Amino acid sequence: MEQSIKYTVIDLFAGCGGLSLGLYQAGWNGLFAIEKNPNAFETLKYNLIDGKNHFDWPEWLPQTNLDIIEVNKKYSKQLIALRGKVDLVAGGPPCQGFSMAGKRVEDDTRNQLVFSYIDFIRMVLPKLILFENVKGFTYAFDKKRNQGAVPYSRMVIDRLQELGYDVQGQIIDFSKYGVPQRRKRFILIGVKDGVKGSAQKFIQLLDNQKEQFLKRNRLSEYCTISDAISDLLQQNGQEETPDRKGFNSGLYGDVQSPYQKLMRKEIKNTQRIPNSHSFAHHSKEKRDIFERLLAEYPLRGKRIDGNSRENWGIRQRGITILDSQALAPTITNMPDDYLHYCEPRIMTVRECARIQSFPDWYEFKSKYTTGGKLRKAEVPRYSQVGNAIPPLFAQQAGLVLKEMLS
């Protein structure tokens, strides 16, 4: 009987669709998704709108990349009319201005999208809220100079409580849920008109059901980098990249772990080239440095920067040699940050996507990468992957949220 119940979700700041994908896998029905960037929306549309028919897109909303500020202004009547019809609003505003990994910028205009998020919630009033952001979202800007500074997380909690939500926020490490990377994020759950403590049940249920979920998918809680990507080695052979002229892609090797088997579940045996598994062009100088690091550098999984970086001839700001038997560091939109654990090259988009728990059938669109000031304007494939919520965690969250509703 449960299958006949349609749980409805709207995905805000949807990116390339990591959160929507996980919720789709958990049996949710999307109403629509809001994503401003055309590159990221192209990926989401290809896979989940056109490919999986995940969304019952309303006629009044254009099926294209949209700015939430404009949506709130132009479609306020339609959004208010959704009250009582939406089970969940999921997603969090862009995190770059809050990230501890980058430059925390208080006046980053993207930070203000938090208030557009609150305006959207005020109009729709969903039964549940799933809000995600970086750990830095919970720290106040410039606390030393302004003792009264309040973190954005506190602002969000206060405003949601004013709207009648019981709210619980917590830092969650996705690696505890089968995702093969150390990735900690602020997850906030809101329950409309819930008694105090209602939202706290999310964490309890998530932890209670984790073991059963992983066992059902034949996964272990601790998944190493090798478990995730050892079937994607360059030494498997190469062919010309289908959608990237002048570059080569790697070929599939044999499945070597239950995690790889799950990621390749919908891939036909005849498919030789994984999507977005295109290798970068490295200069001979850089390749020589990479080979020397792999052969001689004593540490794995620890960033090489400062004097060590200069001594080894590394010209970029720093690099980490991945440890095949450990969790990956947090996948970012900077592909040059990580050196493959046994081959003298950086990671491919597909390898980053595997570590983010995107299944191999999920195809990424637009160009592969970009640099400089364009990073703020463009969201090519590496950035789409690095900015996403791991679908494997999102699926577990979706199952728990359905149980909370039922």
Tens of pLDDT, residues 28-44: 999 999 999 999 999 99
Taking residues 84-97, what's their average pLDDT? Answer: 83
pLDDT surpassing 70 at residue 375? no
pLDDT (mean) for 109-130: 89
Residue 81 has pLDDT above 80, yes or no: yes
Would you kindly state where each structural domain of the chain is located, as residue ranges? 2-219+390-405, 280-347
Whether 279 contacts 234, CB under 8 Å: yes
Burial class (CB in 10 A: 0-12, 13-18, 19+), 374: exposed
pLDDT of 146? 59
Q: What confidence score (pLDDT) does residue 294 get?
A: 96
State the pLDDT at residue 2.
47
Least confident of 51-65, 138-152, 197-211, 374-388: 138-152
Assess whether pLDDT exceeds 90 at residue 387. Answer: yes
Q: How far is CA 59 from CA 14, 234, 295, 365, 396, in A?
A: 19, 46, 59, 25, 31
Is it the case that residue 103 has pLDDT exceeding 60?
Answer: no
Residues serving a catalytic function are 95
- Average pLDDT in the 105-121 region? 74
User: Can you tell me the distance from the alpha carbon of 16 to that of 47, in angstroms, rounded to the nearest whole number?
Assistant: 9
Are the beta carbons of 382 and 287 closer than 8 angstroms? Answer: no
- CATH ID of 2-219+390-405, from 3.40.50.1110, 3.40.1390.10, 3.40.50.150, 3.30.70.1150: 3.40.50.150
State yes or no: pLDDT of 201 exceeds 50. yes
Distance linking the first and last C-alpha atoms of the chain: 12
pLDDT reported for residue 109:
47
pLDDT-based confidence at residue 139 (cuts at 50, 70, 90): confident
